[in-house]
């Protein structure tokens, strides 16, 4: 087991503990990031940290480390764990202060960084595609809890995942209150129709996924395809030529069946596969990752 960073110190994983009074536990009062390290380089670390600080700003949580200090802490934690390929979970909670919800007197956030081996889907899932369903659980409206905040409240997503599993599907796609497609439980959604790529705008209630942004960029710049942010309904999903999901852990995963409707020809699509190929090369490029180890 590895070493976990808590507030500037490293602890063996089994001894890495925080208080039961921590507001992350009591109220889900905190923010987090899931980051990936490819061959000794942290992928899009600046973008992940920008999102972390933006989430914290939105919930009025002042992170006690500067951006640069946080960057160093992440890199240092990977280094002490001596892994070249890893998944990094960075968590900032509002800390602990009694049992009341009032955050005014709390100014001791806990910063936790866990570095672990990355668990990926079996290769078969990428070759055959996965089955998804749309779920009854709606994504929270932006005026309730904006899904752009990557907060420690993941119950929506967990409820959606439970629904998907009960339906025998690997993923659940959530709609907003107007019935527009938002995102899956831990991934963003894309469709391809007549050679054009579509994804919902994030302000309808979705996380601005880092992978989503990279895929949009790669599709535009490398594959010279048109990418549009448009409102999508279930009709658009069912009638798409291709559907795929994007996220740090899954990268790009094809979806071949949604609510029992076969998507396209029932196999991962051509553009999805092209994107997967370009993405695979891109994430390992030196220029897109922050080096962890010296002389790299
Ligand atoms: N939407 C939601 C709701 C997410 O939680 C994404 C989209 C994709 O964003 P990125 O920046 O990763 O492209 C996420 C990703 C996991 C895991 O184990 C992933 C996330 C949260 C918890 C677990 O894959 N966030």
Domain count, the chain: 2
Strands 289-291 and 41-43: antiparallel
293 falls within a domain: no
User: Same domain, yes or no, for 250 and 140?
Assistant: yes
Taking the whole predicted model, whether its pTM rises above 0.85 is answered as yes
Same domain, 26 and 143: no
116, 146, 173 - which closes a domain = 116
Residue 290 lies inside a defined structural domain of this protein: no
Measuring from atom 24 of ligand 1, which residue has the nearest CA?
249
Same domain for 7 and 146: no
Q: Which domain holds residue 33?
A: 3-116
Whether residue 196 is found in the same domain as residue 268:
yes
Check whether residue 109 and residue 14 sit in a common domain.
yes
Give, in degrees to the nearest 5, the angle at Cα 251 between 288 and 112: 75
Q: What is the pLDDT of residue 119?
A: 85
Q: Are residues 15 and 37 in the same domain?
A: yes
Residue listed under structure tokens 């993405």: 279
* CA distances for 33 relative to 5, 45, 93, 208, angstroms: 14, 10, 12, 12
Give the tokens for residue 156: 């929506």
- Ligand 1 centre from 55 Cα, in Å? 14
User: Distance (Å, rounded) from C-alpha 277 to C-alpha 215?
Assistant: 11
pLDDT of the chain, 296 residues: tens digit per residue: 799 999 999 999 999 999 999 999 999 999 999 999 999 999 999 999 999 999 999 999 999 999 999 999 999 999 999 999 999 999 999 999 889 898 876 678 999 999 999 988 899 999 999 999 999 999 999 999 999 999 999 999 999 999 999 999 999 999 999 999 999 999 999 999 999 999 999 999 999 999 999 999 999 999 999 999 999 999 999 999 999 999 999 999 999 999 999 999 999 999 999 999 999 999 988 778 899 997 66
The set of protein residues with a Cβ atom below 6 angstroms from ligand 1 is 34, 157, 183, 186-188, 207, 209-212, 246-249
For residues 82 and 98, state if they share a domain: yes
Q: Indicate which atom in ligand 1 lies nearest the CA of residue 51.
A: 11
Residues 143 and 276 reside in one and the same domain: yes
Are residues 108 and 133 both part of a single domain? no
CA distance 136 to 133: 10
What is the Å distance from ligand 1's center to 34 Cα?
A: 7
Nearest CA to ligand 1 atom 14: 186
- Residue 43 · residue 35 · CB < 8 Å: yes
Domain CATH number, residue 226 = 3.20.10.10
Last residue of a domain, one of 91, 116, 141: 116
Range list of β-strands (E), the chain: 3-6, 9-12, 30-38, 41-43, 86-93, 110-116, 130-134, 171-175, 181-184, 188-193, 196-199, 227-229, 242-247, 251-258, 261-262, 289-291
Q: What distance in angstroms lies between residue 31's CA and the mean position of ligand 1's atoms?
A: 13
Q: Does residue 22 sit in the same domain as residue 132?
A: no
Query: Which pLDDT value is given to residue 295?
Result: 64
Nearest CA to ligand 1 atom 17: 186
Strand, coil or helix: 231? coil
Same domain assignment for residues 55 and 183: no
Name all contacts of 157-160 with Cβ < 8 Å and 24+ positions apart: 157/185, 157/186, 158/185, 159/135, 160/135, 160/184, 160/185
User: Looking at residue 82, which CATH number applies to its domain?
Assistant: 3.30.470.10
């Amino acid at each position: 087991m590895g070493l976990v960073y808590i507030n500037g110190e490293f602890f063996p994983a089994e001894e890495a503990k925080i208080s039961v009074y921590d507001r992350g536990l009591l109220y889900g009062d905190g923010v987090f990031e899931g980051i990936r390290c490819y061959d000794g380089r942290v992928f899009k670390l600046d973008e992940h940290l920008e999102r972390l600080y933006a989430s914290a700003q939105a919930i009025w949580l002042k992170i006690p480390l500067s951006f640069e200090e946080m960057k160093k802490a992440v890199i240092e934690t990977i280094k002490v764990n001596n892994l070249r390929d890893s998944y990094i979970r960075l968590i900032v909670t509002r800390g602990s202060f009694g049992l009341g919800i009032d955050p005014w007197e709390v100014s001791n956030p806990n910063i936790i960084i866990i570095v672990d081996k990355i668990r990926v889907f079996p290769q078969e899932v990428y070759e055959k595609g996965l089955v998804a369903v749309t779920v009854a659980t709606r994504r929270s409206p932006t005026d309730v809890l904006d899904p752009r905040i990557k907060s420690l409240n993941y119950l929506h997503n967990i409820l959606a995942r439970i629904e998907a599993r009960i339906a025998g599907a690997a993923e659940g796609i959530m709609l907003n209150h107007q019935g527009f497609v938002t995102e899956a439980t831990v991934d963003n959604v894309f469709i391809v129709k007549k050679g054009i790529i579509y994804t919902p705008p994030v302000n309808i209630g979705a996380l601005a996924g880092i992978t989503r942004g990279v895929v949009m960029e790669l599709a535009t710049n490398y594959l010279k395809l048109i990418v549009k942010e448009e409102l999508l309904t279930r009709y658009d999903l069912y009638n798409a030529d291709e559907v795929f999901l994007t996220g740090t852990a899954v990268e790009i995963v094809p979806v071949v069946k949604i609510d029992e409707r076969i998507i396209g020809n029932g196999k991962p699509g051509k553009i999805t596969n092209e994107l997967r190929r370009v993405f695979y090369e891109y994430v390992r490029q030196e220029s897109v990752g922050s080096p962890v180890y010296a002389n790299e």
